[in-house]
Amino acid sequence: MTSVKQLFDLTGRVSVVTGGATGLGLQMATALAEAGSNVVICSRKLENCEHAAHGLEKLGVKALALACDVTRVDQVEAMKDAVMQKFGRVDVLVNNAGRAWVAPPEDTPLEHWQQVFDLNITAPFICAQVLGREMIKAQRGRIINIASVAGLVGRDAKTYNSIAYCASKGALVNFTRDLAVKWAHHNIRVNAICPGFFVTPLNEKMLEQTRDYVLRGIPLGRTGGPDDLKGIVVLLASDASNFMTGAIIPVDGGATAW
């Protein structure tokens, strides 16, 4: 029988976190590093990635910073090549990069709808496909898609007035389920985390105006904090979740339990 510490240990594994240089991505990248995984941080801004990677290396793991526009197949292929050259393996992919466009449905420009879908659902497909090929060769892997509670139900416009965001995250939820079924025979687990309201640079101004309203919708009475995604991402990246695939897990303070 394997001990709990062994089940959660990520020593020697390699985790790729898209959009991992700041915010929720950095929180999860830090958690993976704290559990022993080497970490690849990629986003469009190399300087931010390098700063984050330097911080992770202080935890005693190896970190690689890469500039990558994950909506472009050529750049994702180049990112994969760099990962394989440095580490020779990829064990975990966290599809975290995302964006929103805030506007009422009747005023949402098609251009911005498409930009949101490109990053929130097409990019996870590209990254899963490119890195998944290496996982299939190895017959092992973990893909963790960062969806949202906004992809589970319709949301009040006061807190989630972005139909493109909500629709794309809903697509990511079912992408997770379907890929989990299709790649189960390759020993690849595919799961999704659905964060609730976490304060980020994208929503902090809105929260200043609607804090009381937002908190009334969260049974625990607070927004997500700097450690609240750490446990779940390590669980899904580790052997502790060996019998989990296709799971859609809200981390929302109870907001979807009403």
Looking at the annotation, which residues are catalytic? Answer: 165
Cβ-based neighbours of 116, under 8 Å, separated by 6 or more: 99, 100, 101, 162, 164, 165, 168
Could you tell me where the DSSP H helices lie in the chain?
A: 4-8, 23-34, 46-57, 73-87, 110-117, 123-138, 163-183, 204-216, 230-237
| 77 CB neighbour count, 10 Å cutoff | 14
**Which residues face 66 on adjacent strands?**
42
Measuring CA to CA, which residue among 208, 200, 195 is closest to residue 255? 195
Cβ-based neighbours of 113, under 8 Å, separated by 6 or more: 101, 163, 164
Contact 207, 199 (CB under 8 A): yes
Contact 70, 97 (CB under 8 A): yes
Query: Residue by residue, what is the 3-state secondary structure of 155-205?
Result: CCCCCCCEHHHHHHHHHHHHHHHHHHHHHHHHCEEEEEEEECCECCCCCHH
